[in-house]
Each structure stands twice: as structure tokens, then as C-alpha cells.
Structure 1
Amino acid sequence: MKENKPEEKKAEKPLINIKTGNQTVDKSITRVSRLVSWFQAIPAVAHFIRAGERFTDRMGSQFGAAITYFSFLSLIPILMVSFAGVGFVLASNQDLLTDLIDRMVNSISDPTLATTLKNSVKTAVEQRTTVGITGLLVALYSGISWMGNLREAVRAQSRDVWERNQQDKEKIYFKYTRDFISLIGLVLALFITIMLTSVAGAAQDAIVRALGLDGIEWLRPAMTTIALTISILANYLLFLWIFWRLPRHQPRKKALFRGTLLAAIGFEVIKAIMTMTLPKLASSPSGAAFGSVLGLMAFFYFFARLTLFCAAWIATAEYADDEPEQANTPV
């Protein structure tokens, strides 16, 4: 029995070490859990978590992919209208048409490709009326369908419950009329946004050159900040129209204004990232062929996801001074 005592003591030591190690691990896990709980309890973080959960539970990614598909599909009739417009311009100016065909033939070494492009230009001129009318009709239908899908996706994130109720159902003629009016409003909002950004940028450059300040280096960061602010303001007007008009119920004002600002800043970040990545993507041989298509689809997808996430953010906002009855007021 005496010979076995040292062995029993040696066997007990690892058990004590394992127990001590488990206690240390448990304490570390507890500290991390407390830190995570404290971080999640921050109001802004908790709001983002609620918005993310709603976005995921209500298939925000799937709706974003559907909006991307319909957005890309809507470009086809727009290209048809553009194609017809070029045909009208060339038909009214024979010298321009002849010069364009000559430049194409002289700049392309492959005779087959040159002949194909030459025939395409002639087709654009000869069938300009048919292509233009067809393109306008298809563009109108696809645009209304795109607006309807965007409206349903935003409503899915905005309403209190995931399932549609009887109040959400509309007669088909009223639905298409509403989507048509919304489409016109969105086009006007987009036009105002582009004009505001373009005019402000041009006026800014003209004022700087008129005052002779274009050579001052320290003014460049200030001018960049001003241009960025104007662009965010233009984005704000666009998203304000989307979040104010598309949901069936009017959102609370504080949540609407803050969520719109979040969307405007996020949209500017998306544009900056796309501006930096697209030139690099187009520099490769495969990117030169498909880079513009992939970039356009990525832009539509990120825009759709941002719009739906901010709609979920607005819907999940909780403020002590909000009036709850405003959330149920019909638009």
C-alpha cells in the first residue's frame, strides 16, 4: 500500500489542474458574454441588431436580388429607346451618318465586323420608329413592374407583421395606376437629384475659377467636402421620397429623417466604392468584356439591399417621445 501512495498523489494533480483550467475558461467566457451583452445593450447597436434581424427574417437579400434582376431587365427597353433616338438623329443628318459609317469602316480591320456594324447603323435608321415605340411601351411596362416590386419589398420591411392582410390587397387597375404615379414621382426625384448634383458641381468649379482660387491647395479638401455634402443632400431627397411614399403607412418622422440620412450616406459610400473598383475590374481582359455588366448588377444589388435595410431600420426604431398612433396612419 505504501508503494501505491506516490502514484495516487501523482494521479490527483492533473485533475486539480484541469479543474482550475476549466474555471479560468468559464471566467473568460463570462467576461466575454458580459462585454457582448453590454455592447448589444447600447441603443444604437440594439437598433441595428433589430433592423438586421427584420431584414433577414423578411427575406431582404432575396428581395434585393429580385429588384436587381428587374432593374437590369428594365435596361433593355431603355437601350431600345436610345437606339431609336440615335436612328432619328442620324436620319436627319445624312452627313453625320456617312461620316460615322466611314469612320467605322476605316477603324475596324476585320471586314466582317465592319459590315455587321454598318448594317446595325442602317437598321437603327430604317426601323427607328418601330423600335422607339416598342421600346417606350416595354419600358413603361417594365418600369411599372419594377416600381411594384420595389414597393412590395419596402412594404414587407415596413409593416408590423410579415404576412399581408386584407388591407394590403389592391385592385389591379388601382395598383398599376398607383405604381405608374409612383414611377413618375421617382423619375422626377431622380432627375432633380442629378440636376442638383451636376449644377452645384459646375457652379462650384465656375466660382473657383472666376475668383482665381483654383491654384490654392488647401481649398481642395474644403471643395471636396462641399461637393460631398451636396451629393449626400441629393441622395437624401431621393431616399426621402422612397421611404415616405412607398410604405402603405406613414413612418414616424424622427425615424424617417434619421433612416433617410443613413441611406443617403450609405449610398454615397456605395458610389465611392464602385468608382474605385470598376476601373480596376475593367483593366483585366475578362473585366473589359463583362466588367460593366457585373459592376452595374453589383450597383443595383447594393442599392436594393441598402434601401430595404434602411426601411427595416426605420420600422424598428424606438424613441420615447414618438407618438405611436402615427405609425398606423394611412398614407
Structure 2
Amino acid sequence: MAETRTDPRPSPARRDGDEEPEAEHPAIGARIGVIVQRVMQWRVVRVFLHYGSERGPILASGLAYQAIFAVFAGIWVGFSIAGLVLTGDVGLRQSLISILSESVPGLIDDGAGGGAIDPEDLLNAGVFRLSGVIALIGLLVTALGWLASARDAVRALFGLPAVEGNVLLLRLKDLGLAVGFGALLILSAALSVVGTQATDLVLGLVGLRETPVALVLSRIVSLAVMFALDTVVLAALFRVLAGVPIPFARLRTGALLGAAGLGALKVLSGLLLGGATSNPLLASFAVIIGLLIFFNLVCQVILIAAAWIAVGVTDAAIVLDPELEAKRLEEARALVAAHPEASAGKRGFWARLLRR
């Protein structure tokens, strides 16, 4: 029987360019591709992709720059009027200051010296003085400009063109909405007063007043009021200001998500302002920097909420503007007819567009 001998010499090393003995890498690549495709189908991922493709971050940065000027002018005029109207109601006035302090952290001085504006200076300012007149003009210019920019930004995320029509009527509509938002802010302050007093009454009956439980419940009531206010404001911004006929179910979900995001920003704003203050290079104007960052994040949340609604509307194949959709389909048909020699990829794209 023949004896089998093994070659004692080592096998030659594999050189560059030689094929792998086993084809495992293509299988791993295929699995990664499948995972990536699944992740790309997630609603959150598609929302952020849509938000980035429509220049959402740039639009939000422009809105934030306009917002900070509009807020300062609005605060001056609003408190000048409140100083005349709310002089006898100290509770409502203090509640209004608290609502503003929690809505825009770092804007109003809460007594610790960390705010940009002293509320006493605002309450003593006269709206009919020269400074009040200048602030009123600045408010009209900046606030109406912000509302117009917000309208165009929201419509851009929905793939809709800018609103055409009488510019004067649009400005009057924006002015009415601005007044409505201000009235809603005062109403929320009144509700906060009522809710706080009712909470104190109930806690007093059970002997829990001036306890950590009372502080926690008061904070919850305040956050609930702000959450309701933000939800209504966002719904009005998307549906009324932008003029987008969003179905109520889609509008409700987007407004609630946006309000939750704004609430999280307000709760975490102390970390933002604290980080700016701890930097010795920024300490002298840390409040202004904190407000700029805060407003930028607020505008980002607002437009991301609009993008969430826009993606949901697209998934549901809801036509927001039938005339614009018909015009786009007509242009698509004309392009297909004018370019019959187009590549298969382009023909497939226009065919998919015609089937929408």
C-alpha cells in the first residue's frame, strides 16, 4: 500500500491581487445594504433627509436672526401696554413675567441677575414716548418680516410656492395673527395664575403647601400651560399663517411633536445658558449668545415639525394644492412627449411622477 507523504514546504504566501478563498465579503456587504435600506425607510430618517434637502437649517438660521430682534421689540411694546393695563393686578403681571421667563430662558431677569431685560424698566416704559414709538415701528417691521419668512419657509418644506396676492392684505393678516399670539400669551398667563392658585388651594387642604411636592406640581402646571400654548401656536403657524390645507390628523400630530420639542428645549435651556456663562471668553455677553442659540434651536424644531407633517402628507398621497399638482403633471407630460429619446432612467422617473 502506497504511503502518502505531505510536502514539508510551506504554501506560498498570497500576493496582492489574488482572489479570496471564500466569498464572505459580498454576503456581509449585502447584509449591510439591507440594513441601510431599512434605516433609510424610517420616518425619522426621511424627515431629516427632507429637512436637509429643502435647506431647512439655513431657513431656520435666518428665522432665528429675525426672531431675536422681533422679540426684543415685542417685549418692549407689550410690557409698555401691560404697564398701563395690568397695574392693579400684580399676580397676573408676575405670572406674565414668569411665562416669558420660562418660554424664552434668559430674556427676562428673574431677580438673580441672569436675564437680559429688567422687568421693572419695561413696566415703567411708556408706549407713547419716543422710545415706545420707535419700538413699535421696529416691532411692526421685524415681527411682520419674521412671520412672512416663516410662511415661506413652511411652504417650501411642503413643496409649495410663496403665497401670491395683495401684499397689504397679507401684512394685515400677519398683524392680526401677531395680535392673536400676544392675546394668547396673556390668556396663558391668566390660566397659569388660576392653575397655580387652585394647586395651592388643594395642597393647602391636604397640608402639603411649601413642600417639594408643591414645587413639582407648580412646575408641572406651568409646563402644561406652555405645552398647550405651543401646540396652538404651531397649529396656527402651519395651517393659518402658511395657508397649507393640512388635514387635522396630520396637523395635530406635528403640532404636538413640535410642542414637545419646544418644551424639552425650555427645560434644558439652563444647561445651554450655564455652558455659555462658564466660558470666560463669552461671560460678558453670554446671555445674548445663549438667546441666539436658543432661538436657532427653536426655529429648527418648528421647521422639523413642519417637515414631519410634509413627509406624512406625501406618504398618504394627499394633494395640498390641486391646481399646482395639475400644472406639474402637465409639465411632466410635456417633457415626456418632447424627449422620447430620453434614457430609461429618466423615462422611469417621469412615469412615476405621472402615476402620483
TM-score with structure 2 setting the length: 0.65
Q: 1:73 to 1:227 in 2, by over 3 A?
A: closer
Q: 1:217 to 1:303 in 2, by over 3 A?
A: closer
Deviation per residue, 1:68-104 (Å, 9 max, x gap): 111122245347658978999xxxxxxxxxxxxxxxx
Q: Is residue 183 of structure 1 aligned with residue 178 of structure 2?
A: yes
Q: Is residue 324 of structure 1 aligned with residue 325 of structure 2?
A: no
CA distance in 1, matches of 2:181, 2:80: 24
CA distance in 2, matches of 1:274, 1:158: 30
Q: 1:127 to 1:277 in 2, by over 3 A?
A: closer
Q: Is residue 292 of structure 1 aligned with residue 293 of structure 2?
A: no
Give the drift of 1:210. 3.6
Name the amino acid aligned to 1:328. Answer: D
Contact 1:281–1:291 (CA under 8 A) maintained in structure 2: yes
CA distance in 2, matches of 1:19, 1:33: 21
Q: 1:145 to 1:49 in 2, by over 3 A?
A: same
Q: Which residue of 2 aligns with 1:57?
A: 53
Q: Which residue of 2 aligns with 1:255?
A: 250
CA distance in 1, matches of 2:305, 2:133: 37
Contact 1:51–1:312 (CA under 8 A) maintained in structure 2: yes
Deviation per residue, 1:226-285 (Å, 9 max, x gap): 654444333222222222212222112211111111101111111111123323432444
Contact 2:234–2:259 (CA under 8 A) maintained in structure 1: yes
Q: Is residue 158 of structure 1 aligned with residue 158 of structure 2?
A: yes
CA distance in 2, matches of 1:225, 1:248: 33
TM-score with structure 1 setting the length: 0.69
What fraction of aligned residue pairs are identical, expressed as a percent?
19
Name the amino acid aligned to 2:247. Answer: R
Please state whether the residue corresponding to 1:242 is helix, strand or coil. helix
Query: 5+ residue gaps in structure 2?
Result: 1-6, 85-120, 324-356
Kindly report the root-mean-square deviation, in angstroms, between the aligned alpha carbons of the 2 structures: 3.9
Q: 1:203 to 1:131 in 2, by over 3 A?
A: same
Q: Is residue 310 of structure 1 aligned with residue 305 of structure 2?
A: yes
CA distance in 2, matches of 1:247, 1:78: 21
Aligned residues: 279
Please state whether the residue corresponding to 1:324 is helix, strand or coil. coil
Give the drift of 1:179. 1.7
Please state whether the residue corresponding to 2:129 is helix, strand or coil. helix
Q: Which residue of 2 aligns with 1:244?
A: 239
CA distance in 2, matches of 1:75, 1:228: 21
Q: 1:202 to 1:242 in 2, by over 3 A?
A: farther
CA distance in 1, matches of 2:266, 2:125: 36
CA distance in 1, matches of 2:287, 2:169: 37
Give the drift of 1:224. 5.9
CA distance in 2, matches of 1:193, 1:303: 19
Q: Is residue 77 of structure 1 aligned with residue 73 of structure 2?
A: yes
Name the amino acid aligned to 1:248. Answer: G
Q: Is residue 66 of structure 1 aligned with residue 62 of structure 2?
A: yes
Q: Relative contact order: is structure 1 or structure 2 higher (C-alpha 8 Å, sep ≥ 6)?
A: 1
More helix by share: 1
Contact 1:80–1:131 (CA under 8 A) maintained in structure 2: no
